[in-house]
Structure 1
């Protein structure tokens, strides 16, 4: 079987499949299934026979098989029809309350930097200008504030860790 002759039949196969099925995507699937079966059974094709008739016969038989076989019941899904799973929200109020209490336990300078960066979404240089402190101080306070907040939220004590620097 010559692949060029097979490719030459594609427009006719698509037209026939579209007439059989009516839907473009289903017709393309039928053409693909037809070509797959033709390649798999290329040894059954007789070179003295007409390729178009053989391919159309394969397509017709595949379509009849589809109609006889009970298919999956499908329905078109529109964006509004989807029932997407959502996470449970019962504990949200408790978590917000815990976060508020943990923020209240932070030193004022750390809380201010943390809130300006996380809540107000300000850049570090904007926070430095707003609070009138150097940029390095903003980054230091933010780092220490995040670490202390993490410790408090994990249930640990927010103690001060002192290091001896030599």
Structure 2
């Protein structure tokens, strides 16, 4: 296992790897059962979260796994009912560290590659190839625009617009005042529209 960074969790440095195993259950059977229940219920949410928080596609699985490694180590600190909040907060920190580490290593993120889109004429295209191509391009565009949002604003925007959570739920999840969540959502919408306009204008210029 190659360790490539650390996250600060409650003042404790937690080493992590881009090849960390997911099966890191706590030692006691009761703790292991609770951990597995948390993992099974929230894995898809965590996976989507780290991806939408800017982790390159190639590293999303490992980043999501790392969130649960942290959760398994700090299981006693996770109050019943606050699992989702803990996991999302951890996902934000892991996502930031992954991106910093990959930038330092000058690795090209898959999100940048995806922004270029798949080949215009994919070989052996099936009947749904055109629809799939449109979906991939839309996802690449979404990723590119989300990348322009500050992380705290992006978190609220993603939870509201993509996870379809209400503002009070988001405020509770992130541990921020309701007014702060609402203002970040407004700012996120403004920045998203501005970013979308810039990206679309750039793409139009590039094809002239």
Structure 1 length normalisation: TM-score?
Answer: 0.39
Higher strand share: 2
Which structure exhibits the higher relative contact order, with contacts defined as CA atoms closer than 8 Å and separated by 6 or more residues? 2
**Bigger Rg over Cα:** 1
